[in-house]
Amino acid sequence: MPEHPSTRLPLYAQVEDVLVARISSGALPVGTQLPSEEELIREFDVSRTTIRATIQNLVRRGLVEIRRGRGTFVASPRMVQELTELTGFVEDMRILGRTPTARVLTREVIPADPLVAEKLAVPVETTVVQIRRVRLSDGVPLSFDETYLPEELGRKVMTDDLAKEPIFKLLEERYDTPLVEAEYVLEAAAADFTVATALEIPVGSPIFVIERTSYTSRHRAVDYERLHYRGDRIRFKTRLARRRIPRAAKRD
């Protein structure tokens, strides 16, 4: 095996170590397309199964990304987004020095299922507006967003150019709906077919799912979202303060 000091590792791990070294050294810069499967098979004299196992490991480590129909490319380092205040995707990406864009997939009026009804505080089957978008950072799909809005407000938002105008900005500046606070729930998950297709990643890839309910004045829910972020492209960071415990309580 070329460029590897030990042959005791499995073949896929040996190939992986060589490719990681090339990425780390800059021999394969960010954005560079990896050689094809056929080229890697010839170079390392291993099977197609070995090469595919190697590539999947590199994808899981966030070092490369598979772009459907184009090939495998060296990925940018994961961006770190701080969860310190209520912000939208466009604001977040601009803070990170990235260029945000959006691709609108659907906008529909649908009956609220029990979860959406609970989050928007409306009866089940009440009609609400659902908007689905892919959010891109520097042209790379980063998040698949499902947004639910109360019908009256949502019908207004549906008419806007959602590929260019952020919903948060529309709510606050065009529809006089200030966003005061939000509840976040974040969990790890595996991408199903719908999410994987939207984000151009393999089914089963690791993702972050954020459920965010945003409230206007008087604690009225006006925006419920399910945000599916690529786990290989982003990390989330927050800072928490230690709750002070009164001394009397400590003694008790």
Residues 6+ apart with CB under 8 A from 225: 145, 146, 147, 148, 210, 211, 212, 213, 214
Q: What percent of the chain has pLDDT over 90?
A: 67
Q: In the predicted model, what is the mean pLDDT of residues 36-41?
A: 94
The domain ranges of the chain are 11-74, 79-237
Residues 77-87: pLDDT tens digits? 778 888 888 99
pLDDT band at 7 (very low <50, low <70, confident <90, very high): low
The reported pLDDT for the residue numbered 83 is: 85
The reported pLDDT for the residue numbered 77 is: 75
Local structure of residue 160 (DSSP, 8 states): S
CA dist list (Å): 135 to 90, 125, 179, 230:
9, 28, 21, 11
pLDDT band at 46 (very low <50, low <70, confident <90, very high): very high
The reported pLDDT for the residue numbered 149 is: 98
| pLDDT over 70 (residue 251) | no
| pLDDT over 60 (residue 4) | no
99: tokens are 């260029």
Residues 200-225: pLDDT tens digits? 888 998 999 999 999 999 999 999 99
The reported pLDDT for the residue numbered 239 is: 85
CA dist list (Å): 104 to 7, 82, 93, 113, 222:
49, 26, 18, 22, 20
Which of 8-17, 21-30, 120-129, 232-241 holds the top average pLDDT? Answer: 120-129
The reported pLDDT for the residue numbered 84 is: 85
The reported pLDDT for the residue numbered 249 is: 60
Mean pLDDT of the chain: 90
| pLDDT over 90 (residue 182) | yes
Whether the Cβ atoms of residue 13 and residue 55 lie closer than 8 Å to each other: no
Q: In the predicted model, what is the mean pLDDT of residues 186-191?
A: 95
Residues 92-103: pLDDT tens digits? 999 888 899 999
pTM for this structure?
Answer: 0.73
Distance of CA 113 to the CA centre of its chain: 24
d(CA 12, CA 201): 21
Residues 50-63: pLDDT tens digits? 999 999 889 878 78
pLDDT band at 155 (very low <50, low <70, confident <90, very high): very high
Q: Which fold has domain 11-74?
A: Arc Repressor Mutant, subunit A (1.10.10)
Asked: is 79-237 a CATH 3.40.50.300 domain? The reply is no
pLDDT band at 5 (very low <50, low <70, confident <90, very high): very low
The reported pLDDT for the residue numbered 128 is: 98
Local structure of residue 33 (DSSP, 8 states): B
The reported pLDDT for the residue numbered 138 is: 87
